[in-house]
Every structure is written in C-alpha cells, then in structure tokens.
Amino acid sequence: MLREVADLGHVCPRLEGEHRADLCIVGGGYLGLWTALEIKAAEPALEICIVEADICGGGASGRNSGMALPWWTKIEALIAQCSTQEGLRLANASVAAIDEITAFADAHKFDIEFARTGWLWGSTSPREDGRWAGIIEALERHGQAPFTELDRSGVQALVDAPGFRGGALDAACATLHPAKLVRGLRRVALERGITIFEDTAMTNLRRGNPALVETDAGQVLARRVVLAMNAWSTALPELDRGIFILTSDDAVSDPVPEFMEQHRWANGPILTDSAVFVSGYRPMADGRVSAGVSGGAIAFGHLGRTRWEGATPREGDIAAAFARGFGEGHGITFRHSWRGPIDRTRSGLPLFGPLPGHPNIHYGYGFSGNGIVGCRIGAQIMTSLVLERDDVWSNSGLVHPVEPWMPREPIRYIGAHMVRQAIRRQDHLDRLDRDAGPITRKLASLAPGGIVTTTTD
C-alpha cells in the first residue's frame, strides 16, 4: 500500500549528532503521528521530534487493510477492564474516531479514499453462524444496537457474495487507504513544526529524566519520551511480555469493474468471516479488491530490524478465503501482496502507561489488529498522560500495567506455533462442520484477543 503514495520521494533527514526536544516520540505510525499532532495542538511551544526507523508509515500503518472498525466487538473486554460506563464511553469514542479521521483529512486537504461502506461480520460456514449473537446480546443489555442481523437473503440484497450465510452489519464502519492516511498525518506534522527523523532507529533508551534516545548516528535528549513502536516494542524488557506477535497478510487485485458491477460490491460492505483467524476483503475506491488473512508468521524474540518486507507466502490462503465468500470461480487474481506484524494482547485491548519507575516515559501498543480507530483513541490517552492531565483519558482503564503474560523464549516461540496450529486446525474443522479434539480445543482457547474478543486481562 505504501508504495502507492505519491510523496515517498521526500525522506526526512537521518538524525546525526545530538538533538534536544521536550518530547521524543519513537515510531512514526498512526499512534506516534496522531500523538505528536495532538500534543502540538495543545502546547504549540513544545519541541517535539519523532524518530522513525524506516519512513513514516513503514510499519503496520502503511500496510494495513484499511478497515476502520469500532470497538463494539470488544465490549465485554472493555467493560471487564474499564467499568461499564468507561467501556461504553470508549466504544462510542471508537465510533467517533471514524468521523474524526475523515474530518481531519478533509480539513487538511488530503484524500484517504474514505468510504462509509459498513462492515458485515459474517458467516461462511454453519459453525460460524451466529458467532456475533453473544456480543449483540451484551450490547443490547447496555442499550446499544450498532449491528443489524442479516440472514442469507439480507446479505444477498447488499452484495452478491453467495458464500455468506448471514451476518451482523455495522453500517458505521468505513474503509480508507491506510498509507494515504499515515502520509497525510506526516505531512501535517511537518507543517506544524514537528521534527521528523527517518531512517533513524532507536538503538537504546537510557531511562532517566531527561531520557536519552540513542540512535545509530546520534541521540535525542528529551524530558519526555513516547514509545509508539507497535510490535517492535518487545525490544524493551518492560514491554516484551505483554504481546504476542504474528503477521497478517494482505493482497490487492487489479481494478475489476465488471466483477464489482456483477456482484454489486463497488460501494458495498467490508466482508469478514467469523473464524478465530479472521479473513476479510473490501472493495477499494479504484475498483480493486483488497483481501487479507490473519494468523501468519511468528517472530522469535524481539523483531529487531525485521520488517517482513516482500510478498506474503500466503497468497494461496488469501485466494482461498476470498473463494469462501465469492465462490471458486470468482476469477480474481491478486497481483500484489505484503504482510506486517500484529501486536496482540491477551485481551485484544491496547495498553498505555508509564514505564515502571519512569513517569516521563510512556508506552502505547497492543492494538491487536484494530489500530485505525485504536490509535486515534490512543493518541488522546497518550496526550493526557504526557501533559499530566487529570481527565477521562488519563484515568481510562486502558492505562494499564503490562501483564507479563507471554512466556520467555524459546517457550514463547514453541508455544506460539502450537497455539497457531491449533487455531488453524480448529478453523479448518469448523469449516468442515467437524469437531476438533480436546487438545486442539484447549490450545486454540489460548488465542490472544483480535478484532473480536470476549476475554480480558
């Protein structure tokens, strides 16, 4: 996705020598950029710099599927962790985040190919039928009804996707071009006087006040530091055990206007199944299909400079997932593919807070594959934490210590493979309408949170 954006020729300078700032943000994805913009708007005199190992958007923000989905599917985890009132406030904030994103892009005159398509959280096999029912009931108990349940004919009235047996439609969901969003945020950040160093990896963080962010060829001395490093956060021992990293893998087709017309999908909804390792697809503004699958590669230890560049080895899985929705004879060829890391927490909710013993260094990570709206909310939390405000954001239950949930290596790597294998097997058997054995079920139950979660820390 990133390579499709026009402004890539302009790379910000690499940090060389010493730089001083009031705030240094490590990571130039959605979280780092939104946080920089929020804090600069609140305190224009602050010197803010971002150090980004790649180019801004080179991480997940420039390579995601562009599905802006609110947090209704996480309602039980939100309520369990944050209280009923705060859980509902955050879920509503995630809906508002969609409007805020498009309003920001409009105000700053960059096109993010925003489309209010809605999302069908659907079923492509009998065992997936009604997997949304528990969440819908929980939402109804709290007076919320974002989803409309559809049977097969209801889905068919929306889009000719014959593999979908039914689903729950959230009409507020939207699609956007992920890389155009992150590059637009970068442009506005530069216009507002935020200093960005690209091709500048933090190699060491000297905790203290001021803190020292060391890089290959320089260092930033800063009173405050924000760590917005997504899956790369595991380089820090304090953050290492809070997430489980595995890739999601995406692909796009050429423009397929005839397919879009034939299937009445050009302005139609995001379609996902209800497997544990969810698959999904959406129409793009230029008539291409964007499709993706979760549950891919697993990292050993921390990612270091691994970026999982290049095509995904899972193009076959993506094509198979698409065929489950549109039938084997769909005729779509996926031309270009990629993958990127997902930072899954056990609960599926992100984590924010100060590093233990270092109130001037804050982390935000763990968006669990749901970071488009999540980072917009996350930036408001980070802003309140950094500016020491006493408000709903700094007091949110999402400000949470990191639970050392993942085991250390090599147990983590071995265990992760076993759990991933069990989930894949259970998803496969579900599609065949067959029961998995007790060991598979037990291992699959250890799955961390994703877009949908009913567990909590």
Rounded to whole angstroms, the Cα distance separating 234 from 246 reads 13
CB 71 within 8 A of CB 90: yes
Q: Which residue sits closest to ligand FAD, CB atoms considered?
A: 371
Site string for ligand FAD, 362-401 (x = CB under 6 A): -----x-xxxx--x--------------------------
According to the binding rule CB under 6 A, does residue 59 interact with ligand FAD?
Answer: yes
According to the binding rule CB under 6 A, does residue 58 interact with ligand FAD?
Answer: yes
Measured from the CB atom, the residue of 229 and 275 that comes closer to ligand FAD is 229
Q: Please give the angle made by the CA atoms of 159, 287 and 334, to the nearest 5 degrees.
A: 95
CB 294 within 8 A of CB 41: no
According to the binding rule CB under 6 A, does residue 348 interact with ligand FAD?
Answer: no
Rounded to whole angstroms, the Cα distance separating 370 from 30 reads 12
Measured from the CB atom, the residue of 127 and 376 that comes closer to ligand FAD is 376
CB 213 within 8 A of CB 205: yes
Rounded to whole angstroms, the Cα distance separating 8 from 54 reads 12
According to the binding rule CB under 6 A, does residue 61 interact with ligand FAD?
Answer: yes
Q: To the nearest whole angstrom, how small is the minimum distance from the Cβ of residue 331 to ligand FAD?
A: 24
Total chain residues near ligand FAD (CB under 6 A): 39
Rounded to whole angstroms, the Cα distance separating 293 from 451 reads 12
Measured from the CB atom, the residue of 53 and 419 that comes closer to ligand FAD is 53
115 secondary structure, DSSP code: B
Q: To the nearest whole angstrom, how small is the minimum distance from the Cβ of residue 20 to ligand FAD?
A: 18
417 secondary structure, DSSP code: H
Sequence-distant (6+) residues with CB within 8 A of 408 are 241
Residues 257-316 that bind ligand FAD (CB under 6 A): 292
Measured from the CB atom, the residue of 174 and 406 that comes closer to ligand FAD is 174
Rounded to whole angstroms, the Cα distance separating 100 from 52 reads 25
Task: Give the residue among 53, 135, 124 at the shortest CA–CA distance from 303.
Answer: 53
Q: Are strands 119-123 and 270-272 parallel, antiparallel or unpaired?
A: parallel
Measured from the CB atom, the residue of 113 and 129 that comes closer to ligand FAD is 113
According to the binding rule CB under 6 A, does residue 64 interact with ligand FAD?
Answer: yes
Q: To the nearest whole angstrom, how small is the minimum distance from the Cβ of residue 91 to ligand FAD?
A: 14
Stretch that binds ligand FAD, among 109-117, 154-162, 222-230, 418-426 (CB under 6 A): 222-230
Stretch that binds ligand FAD, among 60-68, 148-156, 403-411, 425-433 (CB under 6 A): 60-68
Residues 105-134 that bind ligand FAD (CB under 6 A): none
From the list 184, 340, 348, 353, which residue makes contact with ligand FAD (rule: CB under 6 A)?
A: 340
Alpha-carbon radius of gyration of the chain: 21
Sequence-distant (6+) residues with CB within 8 A of 351 are 242, 345, 363, 364, 365, 366, 398, 400, 401, 402
From the list 21, 23, 52, 348, which residue makes contact with ligand FAD (rule: CB under 6 A)?
A: 52
Measured from the CB atom, the residue of 59 and 127 that comes closer to ligand FAD is 59
Residues 155-214 that bind ligand FAD (CB under 6 A): 201-202
Distance set, CA 449 to CA 116, 220, 337, 347 (Å) = 26, 35, 25, 5
Q: To the nearest whole angstrom, how small is the minimum distance from the Cβ of residue 201 to ligand FAD?
A: 4
Q: To the nearest whole angstrom, how small is the minimum distance from the Cβ of residue 71 to ligand FAD?
A: 10
According to the binding rule CB under 6 A, does residue 225 interact with ligand FAD?
Answer: no
According to the binding rule CB under 6 A, does residue 53 interact with ligand FAD?
Answer: yes
Provide the 3-class DSSP secondary structure of residue 196.
Answer: strand
Stretch that binds ligand FAD, among 16-24, 45-53, 129-137, 418-426 (CB under 6 A): 45-53
CB 58 within 8 A of CB 307: yes
According to the binding rule CB under 6 A, does residue 229 interact with ligand FAD?
Answer: yes
Sequence-distant (6+) residues with CB within 8 A of 185 are 30, 33, 34, 37, 56
Instruction: Name the CA dihedral angle for 355, 356, 359, 360, rounded to a multiple of 10 degrees.
Output: -40
Measured from the CB atom, the residue of 82 and 174 that comes closer to ligand FAD is 174
Which residues of the shown chain bind ligand FAD in the complex (CB under 6 A)? 26-32, 51-54, 58-61, 63-67, 201-202, 228-230, 232, 248, 250, 292, 339-342, 367, 369-372, 375
